[in-house]
Amino acid sequence: MAQFPDFVRIVEVGARDGLQNEAAVSTQDKVALINALADAGLKDIEAGAFVSPKWVPQMADSSDVISALNLPNVNLSALTPNLRGAEAAKQVGIQEFAIFTAASEAFCQKNINCSIDESIDRFKDVMDFAKANNIRVRGYVSCVMGCPYQGDVDYNDVLKVSERLLELGCYEISLGDTIGVGTAKKVDELLDLLLQHIDKSKLAVHFHDTYGQALTNIYTALTRGIATVDSAVAGLGGCPYAKGASGNVATEDVVYLLQGLGIEHGIDLERLAKAGWAICSALNKQPVSKVSLALKNTQNN
């Protein structure tokens, strides 16, 4: 029997995961995007990344973007791969850090230039700093359904690294299907294992839509009681260290799915779609969201 949650918390990652892999947009456009997302009712917004600007130049202005925001009712988070990133994020008032590693050694090496063990070691400093400053920390595990370098990933490796991040003090683990190769069956199999060891309230799903399976995979996770879903407005983005990976599932599509299931989400779909159209216009591209395009066509008729 499906045990759908009553409410799903959407973590909007378009301004980070999306824009990190799109053509550069101005700081002003990023600020406008985040304000529009907040206006649409999003309460958890990943607003930037304090990573090396040589590795991900699109995120180099994260401090400027976050400094320009005044959203007291929104939980703004940012990627903080090391203490330096955490310090910079705190400086501009970030109240939630996101640390990120992988279930695949090869991906971890390519993405953050260290082994999984080394990444956890680096995160200890970030966690100590976060605790001292009363900042909560979310943990990402990439490649939970497969790796662009290694291929198949053992679900036991996903479990191991998730448990290590929780032991370190993360309040939640976001399970990244970084290259969007997951299927409903794989999601069920992964959750069969994880839910034996980790409470569902500590798990989120973060699915990229490369093979068009993200919504089906989210539906599968919802049937297992998972109540936090990451998504990116207009389906922006991809991953710079996962060739061919497309953007996250579009937030508009997730909201439409939740509406159809009668699950609360707190988001105004029309305002959300408008936020997506504005950033897509700045990027000179169409939204990668069927719902967004359908709403646009309805408006134009």
* Contacting residues toward ligand HMG, per CB under 6 A: 17, 20, 49-52, 54-56, 79, 81-82, 84-85, 100, 111-114, 140, 142, 176, 178, 206, 208, 239-241
Partner residues linked to 45 by β-bridges: 12, 76
209 binding Mg ion? (CB under 5 A)? no
Partner residues linked to 10 by β-bridges: 229
Contact segment (CB under 5 A) with Mg ion among 9-17, 70-78, 100-108, 257-265 equals 9-17
For 73, counting Cβ atoms within 10 Å of its Cβ (0-12 exposed, 13-18 middle, 19+ buried), the class is exposed
Cα–Cα distance for residue pair 101/257, rounded to 1 Å: 29
17 binding Mg ion? (CB under 5 A)? yes
Among residues 214 and 279, whose Cβ is nearest to ligand HMG? 214
- Annotated catalytic residue 143: no
- Supply 129's token pair: 């700093």
3-state SS class at 5: coil
Q: From the CB of 245, what's the least distance to ligand HMG, in Å?
A: 8
**DSSP strands (E only) in the chain:** 9-12, 44-49, 75-79, 96-102, 136-142, 172-177, 203-207, 228-231
Among residues 39 and 240, whose Cβ is nearest to ligand HMG? 240
Cα–Cα distance for residue pair 237/46, rounded to 1 Å: 14
112 touches, from ligand HMG, Mg ion, none (C-beta below 5 to 8 Å by class): ligand HMG
Among residues 204 and 291, whose Cβ is nearest to ligand HMG? 204
55 touches, from Mg ion, ligand HMG, none (C-beta below 5 to 8 Å by class): ligand HMG
First-to-last alpha carbon distance for the chain, in angstroms, is: 41
Q: From the CB of 299, what's the least distance to Mg ion, in Å?
A: 30
Among 108, 170, 239, 280, the active-site one is 239
Residues present in the chain in total: 301
Among residues 119 and 292, whose Cβ is nearest to ligand HMG? 119
Contact residues for Mg ion, defined by CB under 5 A:
17
Active-site residue set: 239
